[in-house]
Amino acid sequence: MRFSVTTWNINSVRLRLPIVEQFIVGEKPDILCLQEIKCRAEEFPLEPLKAMGYEHIILHGQKGYHGVAILSKVPLSEDHRQDYCGVGDARHISAIFERGSRRIRIHNFYVPAGGDEPDRSINPKFGHKLDFVEEMKALKASSPGVSSILVGDLNIAPLEHDVWSHKQMLKIVSHTPVETEGLTQVMEKGGWLDLMRQHVPASEKLYTWWSYRAKDWEAADRGRRLDHIWSSPDLGPFLDKIEVLKEARGWNRPSDHVPVTATFKF
């Protein structure tokens, strides 16, 4: 039994609905998790996406900013959203689905970007990001009778080869030591497995984001791995493949992130 889960920071689902539909036609994931949907729940394009087979949709949106959604071909239950840092941002949603005899909770995150200056004393956005990551350390991958998958734009590239230049990125937000160490602790304290690096060795470059600022993003290839798929350890042996759809960065009116899909063979 194959089952696939995709994560994608879409950077406005209404603006980029045509490429969401293009992706669905080509890839047909069983569950599609979107971040930065940038709309309230009542503004989300439910009907066209339900018509494409995603009859089960839960979302946590807000006007103009942030927002996360889970689109699923299989039923979802126990809808939950956590207000990290208590500021009311729509940055997390989770639900349970079933595959065979397995119950799996899927978490969808949009971690704060953190601004441009990696110093919380002069940049409150960076402090917010660090506090958010600190609270994530309490999230456990395993609980009795329930496996877990965590996906999303975590806005941190934790490993040396998750960025185009480790040395040049050490003082750039998303790859500073305080961020990378924090995210590593989230994984370790929660007992999470990094599925992307289980499939692609840590010694190989792996990116999911290319800046809009690059005139020729493909030639420069100055990417970062900001998008992640983790799981509880029990699901690791069932991972069949990871696909990063780099070509989507070149689609019409693209997001600066591309879809990442994990396929399991249960």
Give the pLDDT confidence of 19-56 residue by residue, as tens digits.
999 999 999 999 999 999 999 999 999 999 999 999 99
Q: How far apart are CA 143 and CA 120, in angstroms?
A: 34
Q: How confident is the model at residue 100 (pLDDT cuts 50, 70, 90)?
A: confident
Return the number of other C-beta atoms located less than 10 Å from residue 205's C-beta: 13
What is the per-residue pLDDT for 242? Answer: 98
Please tell me the pTM assigned to this model: 0.97
The type of residue at 30 is D
Residue 17 phi, psi dihedral angles, 5° rounding = -55, -40
Burial (0-12, 13-18, 19+ Cβ within 10 Å), 43? middle
**DSSP strand pairing (193-194 vs 147-153):** unpaired
Report the chain's mean pLDDT, rounded to a whole number: 97
Report the b/e string of 84-94 with b at 16+ CB within 10 A.
bbeeebbbbbb
Average pLDDT over residues 92-113: 96
Q: How far apart are CA 95 and CA 131, in angstroms?
A: 24
The type of residue at 117 is E
Q: How far apart are CA 234 and CA 231, in angstroms?
A: 8
In terms of Cα–Cα distance, which of 72, 44, 79, 40 is closest to 57?
A: 72
Give the pLDDT confidence of 213-250 residue by residue, as tens digits.
988 999 999 999 999 999 999 999 999 999 999 999 99
Q: Residue 3 above 90 pLDDT?
A: yes
Question: Which element (helix H / strand E) includes 33?
Answer: strand 31-35
Contacts of 234 (CB under 8 A, 6+ apart): 142, 147
Q: In what order do the strands lie in the sheet with 68-72?
A: 56-60, 68-72, 31-35, 2-9, 260-265, 239-244
Give the pLDDT confidence of 252-263 residue by residue, as tens digits.
999 999 999 999
Give the pLDDT confidence of 176-222 residue by residue, as tens digits.
999 999 999 999 999 999 999 999 999 999 999 999 998 899 999 99
Which single residue is written with the structure tokens 């194959």?
A: 2
Report the b/e string of 4-25 with b at 16+ CB within 10 A.
bbbbbbbbebeebeebbeebbe
Q: Residue 121 above 90 pLDDT?
A: yes
Q: Residue 6 above 90 pLDDT?
A: yes
